[in-house]
Structure 1
Amino acid sequence: MSALPASSAAYAFAASPCGGLRTDLNGTTVTLRASGALWIEARRMLVVADLHLEKGSAYAARGQMLPPYDTRDTLRRLQGEIIAAAPQAVVLLGDTFHDRKSEDRLARDDAAALRALAGMTRLIWVVGNHDSDGPRDLPGETLDEIAVESLILRHEPTEGPQAGEVAGHLHPCARIVAASGSVRRRCFVTDGARMVVPAFGAYAGGLSIRDEAFAGLFARAPLCGALGAGRVHAIGWRSIKAD
């Protein structure tokens, strides 16, 4: 990825009591939670992207056998976030299902868990490229995108500067190198104007934020919020290396 311009304006994260990081995103205060969920305090809204439910069963159908527990694990973690944060709404920011037949492959208990989540809070399904039709037999609202405060929530980032955009799709990850070695973590990435959030799904992969797919998204060198055990770590652009 080509070098990004440094900014003369201060931009930083602040620690949050939940172990996350708080920041101003295009004039709206948000919290980057250690789970990979984004919290919009003004609306008590939880945003999670790229659950890719039933990815394991999709791979199994092609002969690549993976433990078939990804959907259950992902929904368990989402339920934990809902219990902890008590949101008024949860936005599923696209690619909630891995493919258009995923809903048909849901185990009965997992379908019941999704319905139970809709009973706990308002459930908003933003469609993605893997699930462009949205759910058929599950509760909630289906939208292409949603405006919240000074933000616009959509699945796929649009080209060029887009102030206020919150998107998923790219599954951002960062490789951080230190004297003791290197680690690779899912991450949030933002320049204070827009943000790409990490994939929430258990089997969702990750793409380095140094990849060309991120080129042109940020007007200045972004900051990374790398997911750790129970906390989010603020990482500067210079500390992030290509894969």
Structure 2
Amino acid sequence: MSRLQPAPSRANTGAMNGYDFTFAGTTLTARGSGALWWAEQRLLCVSDLHLGKSERIARRAGSALPPYEIRDTLTRLEAEIEALSPSTIICLGDSFDDAAAVRALGEADHLWLARLQAGRRWIWIEGNHDPGPLNLGGSHLRDMVQAPLCFRHIAQPEARGEVSGHYHPKAGLRGPARPCFLADGARIILPAFGTYTGGLRSRDPALTSLMQPGALAILTGPRPRPIPMPR
């Protein structure tokens, strides 16, 4: 069975805020923010931004949440871009809370996204919340292969070298669970990057059925750290 291994010690941008590991013959960094960094390809991957969630909740349920989650999410994404200077960014699905949230995006946020996209390849992966085309620049794909990795929104049990999102995994040994990456020899599942996103405990059968024995949960935060995936 393929096993996940820590990467050899090396200098890398933001090393104090990331956990380096090898996966499918690549060296990746699980960032404390919840972003995944592939330094060799200068590729930054984030999942489940759920932009416009407060607008969607107000529209459908009439409840009002503080309408600042787009600003907060894009501020944190911009900080990762400034720290790492990626040439490719993959948004791994559910970038918007629904199609109407895309249409409701304000002019300032349109301009903000255009500024973040400028000079780099930007890939919107199709999610279950935002399956339609996004008229926001970049490319819109169902999934993307950049060998040896495949990027898609929802994990497929038979896949290998897969990077996905969707489940918003969380884990912890003591105290409140924290958003985390789940990783084994076959797949990585990213935490949700968006501000207004809940989470699914790693013990949930939806996750334990996907992850191999010996999988890691890499907890996000100022000092990301791996723990055995709680089951």
CA contact (8 A) 1:126 1:134 kept: no
Partner residue of 1:28 out of 26, 29, 38: 26
Aligned to 2:43: 45
The code of the aligned residue for 1:144 comes to: R
2:52 corresponds, among 49, 54, 63, to 54
The answer (yes or no) to whether the contact 1:90–1:121 under 8 Å persists in 2 is yes
User: Aligned equivalents of 1:140 and 1:100: distance in 2?
Assistant: 17
Q: Distance in 2 between matches of 1:32 and 1:10?
A: 17
Q: Give the 5 Å matches for 1:1-243.
A: 11-14=4-7, 17-61=15-59, 62-136=61-135, 138-158=136-156, 160-177=157-174, 182-228=175-221, 230-237=222-229, 240=230
For 2:198, the aligned partner's letter is G
Find the aligned partners of 1:175 and 1:162 in 2 and give their Cα distance.
26
Structure 2 CA distance for partners of 1:202 and 1:58, relative to 1, 3 Å: same
CA contact (8 A) 2:3 2:185 kept: no
Aligned-pair CA distance for 1:175:
2.9
3-state SS, counterpart of residue 39 of structure 1: strand
Structure 1 residue matching 2:81: 3-state secondary structure: helix
Q: Alignment RMSD, CA only?
A: 1.7
TM-score (norm 1): 0.87
Q: Post-superposition shift, 1:217?
A: 1.2
Partner of 1:3: none
| 3-state SS of 1:102 partner | helix
Separation in 1, partners of 2:16, 2:158: 31
Q: How many residues align?
A: 225
Unaligned runs of 5+ in 2: none
Give 1:168's aligned amino acid: G
Distance (Å, rounded) in 2 between the aligned partners of 1:78 and 1:134: 22
How far does residue 10 in structure 1 lie from its aligned partner after superposition? 5.9
- For residues 10 and 151 of structure 1, do their structure 2 counterparts lie closer, same or farther at Cα, with a shift above 3 Å needed? closer
**TM-score, reference length from structure 2:** 0.92
Q: Deviations over 1:159-207 (max 9, x none)?
A: x242101000000111322xxxx13100000113211000000001110
Consecutive unaligned residues of structure 1, counting only runs of 5 or more, are: 1-6
- How far apart are residue 120 of structure 1 and its match? 4.3
Q: Rate the CA distance shift 1:111–1:101 in 2: closer, same or farther, 3 A.
A: same
Percent of aligned pairs sharing the same letter: 40
